[in-house]
């Protein structure tokens, strides 16, 4: 091994991983960064060297193995049968769990979103398309049955079926690409039984359908980059456009991620004019549909606090932890945007208690004043600002992070303990009625009792930070082997996860797509292009 043979991508991977481990460890155990310590520099250099060499050695090993290619089966099976059979198996396994947590994980703002539909009082805090689609199904079924448990169950079953079909399609794509039945059987078992995927499929949150659409879009993007005649098919372009539009309608960060992704592929000149036009039209269609729905429903504007999560948390950290450094005028200015009681409720890992008090009208009346205060305070407290940014997001990029941002918070049916890995509950007006209590207890154990951290090493498979680094390892490998097309194939889900770094807190549901994309991408490392 020669240092000269190590490529820039190895050094970039090493630097990023070293920051993730050192900064993440400090956030986890100290609640802040410690930039001036000699231990910080020592361990940063140590991890950097190890990660750089690790990537170099293993990417070379994988390249040699990939050159021999995955062994294909002699007999071929109809991909349609693979798709249908896999979808059915996944659906049955999910249905058994559904019975255990009946009527499903109706959680994460579900009560608020449904209440918007019932009262016809909408706002733009949650994607209006998801609010209306979920509300329409549940309300329609409630009119027919008079039972909210049945209504919620129908919605969850529809969503579960949708994602089961998509997961079955992923298995089908693996078979088409690798022609390896054993590999597909292994993927099917994983997709059908891994608890995180079941949480995704049976949860009412907007992240769940969004995940299915994002995964399917990623599959089509992979085709787009690898098939020279992709844009010659109008069907391909229509599918690409529809998937892109609906994906954005289900999550706001999907919009930002897609725009960044489109700019990236444009700069790299990796898409044709026809495909680029479809991507632009998709973005326009999103804004037209979303704006139209907000207008029709007379939705109240409350979205500023979501967009301003990072500045709000940075200012709140300084106010809560270094109050004496702020002048009376600065405190009064900040309190005009965020009430004092909310500022004093600051918790490093979750922004909810602070941003809920954010005064939208005050911000609208003096946006310049808010940004001026933010900048002037940041100049005096750069480390505090970095601490605030890392503390809400490190759970998404530090492999050994404890997801406990809701620790101690009371919800409808329980109080979060040392873990807030997953919401688990069923919010009103529905009510949990388990037909298989053992399954219900198992998911409670994983979600709020820290069960995902019970087994050493294995617990990393439940970590969004670990799964992210596997994805970065995969993309880095494609860059290392100069396979830019495959690297770009996985750039969109990566961009989506990157937007979560500046989100309100770290939650596993933000990263559901990783548990589907990573296995597919890892297999893709060993598949040779024809």
At residue 105, what are phi and psi to the nearest 5 degrees? -85, 80
> Interior CA angle at 497 toward 494 and 499, to 5°?
115
In sequence order, the β-bridge partners of residue 123 are 300
Evaluate if residue 151 carries a pLDDT over 70: yes
Extract long-range pairs of 520-524: CB within 8 Å, 24+ residues apart.
Answer: 520/170, 520/173, 520/174, 520/219, 521/471, 521/474, 521/475, 521/490, 522/470, 522/474, 523/70, 523/174, 523/177, 523/178, 523/183, 523/187, 524/177, 524/222, 524/474, 524/486, 524/489
pLDDT of 212 higher than 60? yes
Determine the pLDDT at residue 71.
53
The pLDDT-based confidence of 337 (bands split at 50, 70, 90) is: very high
Closest CA to 513 of 488, 496, 491: 496
**At 78, is the pLDDT very low, low, confident or very high (cuts 50, 70, 90)?**
confident
Predicted confidence band of residue 303 (pLDDT cuts 50, 70, 90): low
Hey, how many other C-beta atoms are within 10 angstroms of the C-beta on 245?
22
pLDDT mean over 347-376: 93
**Residues 296-324: what's their mean pLDDT?**
91
Question: What was the pLDDT predicted at 530?
Answer: 56
Residues 435, 517: Cα–Cα separation, whole Å: 32
Least confident piece of the model among 6-10, 60-64, 250-254, 498-502: 60-64
Confidence of residue 291 (pLDDT cuts 50, 70, 90): very high
Three-class SS of 60-116: HHHHHHHHHCCCCCCCCCCHHHHHHHHHHHHHHHHHHHHHHCCCCECCCCHHHHHHH
Q: Are 109 and 251 in contact (CB under 8 A)?
A: no
- pLDDT (0 to 100) of residue 450: 87
Task: State the Cα–Cα distance between residues 492 and 221, nearest whole angstrom.
Answer: 9
198 neighbors 156 (Cβ within 8 angstroms):
no
Tokens 């830019």, residue located? 484
Sequence-ordered list of residues with C-beta below 8 angstroms from that of 162, at least 6 positions apart, any chain? 209, 212
Q: What is the mean pLDDT of residues 28-42?
A: 94
Q: Is the predicted pLDDT of residue 219 greater than 90, yes or no?
A: yes
Please write the tens of the pLDDT for every residue from 108-117.
889 999 999 9
Mean pLDDT, rounded, of the chain:
93
Tokens standing for 78? 């109809």
The mean pLDDT value for 23-40 works out to 94
| Full-model pTM | 0.94
Give 510-520 pLDDT, tens digit per residue.
Answer: 999 999 999 99
- Classify 4 as helix, strand or coil: helix
283 burial level (CB within 10 Å; 0-12, 13-18, 19+): middle
Alpha-carbon gap, residue 213 to 464, rounded angstroms: 19
At residue 54, the pLDDT reads 96
pLDDT at 199 over 90: yes
Worst-scoring range by mean pLDDT, 124-128, 155-159, 299-303? Answer: 299-303
């Amino acid at each position: 091994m020669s240092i000269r043979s190590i490529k820039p991508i190895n050094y970039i991977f090493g630097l990023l991983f070293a920051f993730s481990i050192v900064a993440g460890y400090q956030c986890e155990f100290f609640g802040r960064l410690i930039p001036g310590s000699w231990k910080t520099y020592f361990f940063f250099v140590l991890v950097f060297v190890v990660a750089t060499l690790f990537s170099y050695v293993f990417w070379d090993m994988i390249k040699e193995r990939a050159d021999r290619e995955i062994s294909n089966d002699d007999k071929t099976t109809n991909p349609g049968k693979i798709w249908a059979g896999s979808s059915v198996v996944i659906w049955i396994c999910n249905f058994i769990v559904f019975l255990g947590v009946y009527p499903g994980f109706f959680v994460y703002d579900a009560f608020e979103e449904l209440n918007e539909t019932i009262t016809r009082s909408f706002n733009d805090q949650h994607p209006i398309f998801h609010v209306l689609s979920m509300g329409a199904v549940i309300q329609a079924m409630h009119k027919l049955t008079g039972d909210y448990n049945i209504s919620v169950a129908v919605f969850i079953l529809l969503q579960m079926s949708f994602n089961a079909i998509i997961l079955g399609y992923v298995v089908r794509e693996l078979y088409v690409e690798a022609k390896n039945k054993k590999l597909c059987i292994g993927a099917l078992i994983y997709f059908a039984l891994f608890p995180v995927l079941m949480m995704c499929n049976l949860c009412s949150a907007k992240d769940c359908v969004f995940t299915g659409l994002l995964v399917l879009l990623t599959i089509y993007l992979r085709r787009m980059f690898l098939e020279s005649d992709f844009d010659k098919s109008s069907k391909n372009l229509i599918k690409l456009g529809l998937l892109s539009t609906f994906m954005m309608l289900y999550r706001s960060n999907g919009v930002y991620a897609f725009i960044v992704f489109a700019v990236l592929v444009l700069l790299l000149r990796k898409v044709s004019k026809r495909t680029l036009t479809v991507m632009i039209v998709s973005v326009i269609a999103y804004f037209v549909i979303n704006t139209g729905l907000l207008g029709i429903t007379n939705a109240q504007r409350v979205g500023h606090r979501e967009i301003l999560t990072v500045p709000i948390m940075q200012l709140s950290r300084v106010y809560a932890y270094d109050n004496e450094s702020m002048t009376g005028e600065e405190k009064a200015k900040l309190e005009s945007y965020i009430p004092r009681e909310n500022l004093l409720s600051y918790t490093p890992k979750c922004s909810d208690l602070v941003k809920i008090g954010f005064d939208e009208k005050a911000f609208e009346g003096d946006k310049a004043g808010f940004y001026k205060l933010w900048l002037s305070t940041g100049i005096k407290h750069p480390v505090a600002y970095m601490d605030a940014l890392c503390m809400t997001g490190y759970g998404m990029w530090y492999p050994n992070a404890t997801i406990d941002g809701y620790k101690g918070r009371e919800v409808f049916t329980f109080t979060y303990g040392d873990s807030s890995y997953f919401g688990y509950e069923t919010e009103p007006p529905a009510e949990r009625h388990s037909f298989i209590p053992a399954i219900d207890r198992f998911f409670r154990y994983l979600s709020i009792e820290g069960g995902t951290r019970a087994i050493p090493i294995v617990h990393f498979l439940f970590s969004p930070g670990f799964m992210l680094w596997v994805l970065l390892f995969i993309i880095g490998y494609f860059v290392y082997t100069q396979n830019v097309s495959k690297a770009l194939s996985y750039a969109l889900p990566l961009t989506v996860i990157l937007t979560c770094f500046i989100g309100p807190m770290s939650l596993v549901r933000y990263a559901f797509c990783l548990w589907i994309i990573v296995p597919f991408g890892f297999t893709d490392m060993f598949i040779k292009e024809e």
